[in-house]
Amino acid sequence: MNLARFYDRPDVYLIVAAFLLALGIYGLLRRRTLIGMLIAGELIFSSASLNFMALNRFLAPDPAVGQIVVLFIMGLAAAEVAIALSIVIAVYRNYRSVDTSDLSELKG
Amino acid sequence: MNPFPGAGILAFIIFCVCVATTVAGGLLAVFTVRIIRSVCGLALCCIGLAGLYYFLHSPFLALMEILIYVGAVCVTIIFAVMLAEPEENVSREGRARDLVWMVSAVLLAGVVFYAVSRLGLSGPWPAPPAPPGDASVKAIGISLLTTYSLAFELISLVLLVAILGALVIARSGRTKP
């Protein structure tokens, strides 16, 4: 395998995307504040985008489709961040904390 | 004769820098304790991703990644961090339970990473098409306004509703004494 053409193969991109997905899942499980969990969710969005772009570049017959899908993912991620952060601020105003272990009013 | 003999090696080095930036940013975003460093890690990860998009023949999306993620999403998260001052305090549960949680999270993440990367490396991908289609910004714009015009309009509606909903949720209860 020629070392200099390493970036013209889909393998590295797919492995980086899988690594970002695993990091995002680990962060979602480990983070204790809502904002930390939101950041981990953004990592998962990024991994999905990278996967779309890699398969779009190397395997899709029409390379414009994947870029449009990734644009839509970015738009949805922006909308999600706006809503989630406003919920975080509303929660902080009511509870004076965004720690997930404090938000246990509905816990059985 | 190639006028730039070291161009391949140079591109390889830049590619490695992009991958390392992405991975390091992701690690920083997940493993740091302070939340503001985590946001900086997310920004670093997105800059590396923009470089990877450039290597995937899409400079338009590289620009959009920096513009939207680093310029808008990270700045918004920093605003929320300043407003809500989240502190990652040390666990209130026992150490043993915390260790069990950490081990199970690492195990789950490792299994997901192994399964997805194995699927990506060993999948029976079809052969790439011989003449690659047009991937320019012009082609993207044409298909956004013809084939995907409904989704394009719908996402503008989603963004509008998200802005209004964020305003309503974040403002409610603010004017009360």
B51, pLDDT greater than 60: yes
pLDDT at B39: 94
Q: State mean pLDDT over B5-26.
A: 90
Kind and range of the H or E run holding B28 = helix B7-31
The pLDDT of residue B175 is: 61
A35 contacts B77? CB cut-off 8 A: yes
Instruction: Look at residue B15 in the predicted model and tell me its pLDDT.
Output: 92
Q: pLDDT digit string (tens) for B93-134? A: 667 888 888 899 999 999 999 999 888 888 777 777 666 677
Structural contact between residues B164 and A86, judged by C-beta atoms closer than 8 angstroms: no
Domains of chain A, by residue range, sit at 7-95
CB of B62 within 8 A of CB of B54? Answer: yes
What pLDDT is recorded for position B148? 92
pLDDT exceeds cutoff 80 at B74: yes
From the list A21, A61, A81, which residue is nearest B73 (CB)?
A: A81
Give CA angle at A94 (A93, A98), nearest 5°.
70
Contact A27 B19 (CB under 8 A): no
Tell me whether residues B169 and A87 touch, CB distance under 8 A: yes
DSSP string covering A57-107: HHH-S-HHHHHHHHHHHHHHHHHHHHHHHHHHHHHHHHHS--BTTT--TT-
For B85, half-sphere exposure in the C-beta direction (CA atoms, 13 angstrom radius) is: 3
Would you call A5 an interface residue with chain B, using a CB distance cutoff of 8 Å?
yes
Specify the CATH number of the domain B10-89. 1.20.120.1200
Using CA atoms, how far apart are residues B12 and B154, in angstroms rounded to an integer? Answer: 40
Q: Where are the domains of chain B?
A: 10-89, 136-171
Q: Is A6 on the interface with B (CB under 8 A)?
A: yes
Q: Given CB atoms, is A15 within the 8 Å cutoff of chain B? A: yes
pLDDT of amino acid B63: 94
Share above pLDDT 90 across residues of chain B, in percent, rounded to a whole number: 51
Length of chain B, in residues:
177
d(CA B171, CA B3): 61
Which residue does chain A place closest to B109, by CA atoms?
A22
Subunit contact A16:B83, Cβ cutoff 8 A: no
In sequence order, what are the residues at sequence separation of 6 or more whose Cβ sits closer than 8 angstroms to the Cβ of residue B2? none
Q: What CATH number belongs to A7-95?
A: 1.10.287.3510
Asked if the Cβ–Cβ distance from A86 to B72 is below 8 Å, we say no
Contact with chain B for residue A100, Cβ under 8 A: no
Contact between A30 and B144 using a beta-carbon 8 Å cutoff: no
